[in-house]
Amino acid sequence: MRLSEITHPNQLHGLTISQLESIAKEIRQKHLETIAATGGHLGPGLGVVELTLALYQTLDLDRDKVVWDVGHQAYPHKLITGRYKDFHTLRQKDGIAGYLNRRESEFDHFGAGHASTSISAALGMAIARDLQGENYKTVAIIGDGSLTGGMALEAINHAGHLPKTNLLVVLNDNEMSISANVGAIPKYLNKMRLSPPMKFITNNLEGQIRNIPFVGEQISPEIERIKDNLKIVTMVQNKVGAVFEELGFTYIGPVDGHNLKELIATFKMAHTLTGPVMVHVSTTKGKGYSYAEADRVGYHAQNSFDIATGKAKPSTSSKPKPPSYSKVFADTLIKLAEHDKRIVAITAAMSTGTGLDKFQAALPNQFIDVGIAEQHALTVAAGMACEGMRPVAAIYSTFLQRGFDQIVHDICIQSLPVFLCLDRAGIVGADGPTHQGMYDIAYLRCIPNIVLMAPKDEAEMQNMIVTGLTHNGPTAMRYPRGNGVGAPLQDEDIEPLPIGKAEVLREGKDVLLLAYGSMVYPSLQVAELLNEHGVSATVVNARFAKPLDTELILPLAQKIGKVVTVEEGCLMGGFGSAVLEAFSDANVLIPTYRIGVPDILVEHASPEQSFNSLGLSSGQICDRILKQFAFSQQTATSTN
Does the domain at residues 325-478 carry the CATH identifier 3.40.30.10? no
Give residue-wise pLDDT tens across range 97-141: 888 999 999 999 999 888 899 999 999 999 999 999 999 999 999
If we measure between CA atoms, which residue out of 167, 191, 177 comes closest to residue 254? 191
> What type of residue is 631?
F
Stated pTM of the model: 0.86
The CATH number for 3-198+236-294, chosen from 1.10.150.120, 3.40.50.970, 3.30.1370.160, 3.90.105.10, is 3.40.50.970
- Which of left, alpha, beta for 71 (phi over 0: left; psi -120 to 50: alpha)? left
Asked if pLDDT for residue 527 goes beyond 50, the answer is yes
Within the chain, which residue ranges are assigned CATH 3.40.50.970? 3-198+236-294, 325-478
Cβ density class 420-457: b for 16+ within 10 Å, e for less: bbbbbbbbbbbbbbbbbbbbbbbbbbebeebbbbbbbb
Asked if pLDDT for residue 280 goes beyond 50, the answer is yes
515 and 541 Cβ atoms separated by less than 8 Å: yes
pLDDT at 68: 94
pLDDT at 307: 76
Rounded to an integer, what is the distance from CA 127 to the centroid of its chain?
Answer: 27
State the catalytic residue, choosing from 285, 358, 478, 481.
285
- Gyration radius of the chain over CA positions: 28
State the catalytic residue, choosing from 50, 374, 458, 567.
374
Per the prediction, the chain carries an average pLDDT of 88
- Range with the lowest mean pLDDT among 144-148, 257-261, 273-277, 290-294? 290-294
91 — pLDDT class (breaks 50, 70, 90)? confident
Asked if pLDDT for residue 529 goes beyond 50, the answer is yes
Q: Would you give the DSSP letter of residue 517? A: G
Annotation marks residue 594 as catalytic? no
Mean pLDDT of 602-629: 96
429 — pLDDT class (breaks 50, 70, 90)? confident
123 and 157 Cβ atoms separated by less than 8 Å: no
43 — pLDDT class (breaks 50, 70, 90)? confident
If we measure between CA atoms, which residue out of 408, 460, 150, 358 comes closest to residue 345? 358
Element (H, E) at 390: strand 390-396
499 and 544 Cβ atoms separated by less than 8 Å: yes
State the catalytic residue, choosing from 83, 402, 456, 546.
402
pLDDT at 514: 98
Does the domain at residues 503-638 carry the CATH identifier 3.30.1330.10? no
Asked if pLDDT for residue 446 goes beyond 90, the answer is yes
Annotation marks residue 402 as catalytic? yes
CA distance 624 to 618: 10
pLDDT at 316: 65
Within the chain, which residue ranges are assigned CATH 3.40.50.920? 503-638
Give residue-wise pLDDT tens across range 158-186: 999 999 999 999 999 887 545 555 566 66
- Range with the lowest mean pLDDT among 251-255, 366-370, 373-377? 251-255
232 — pLDDT class (breaks 50, 70, 90)? very low
Annotation marks residue 285 as catalytic? yes
Mean pLDDT of 39-51: 85
Element (H, E) at 347: strand 343-347
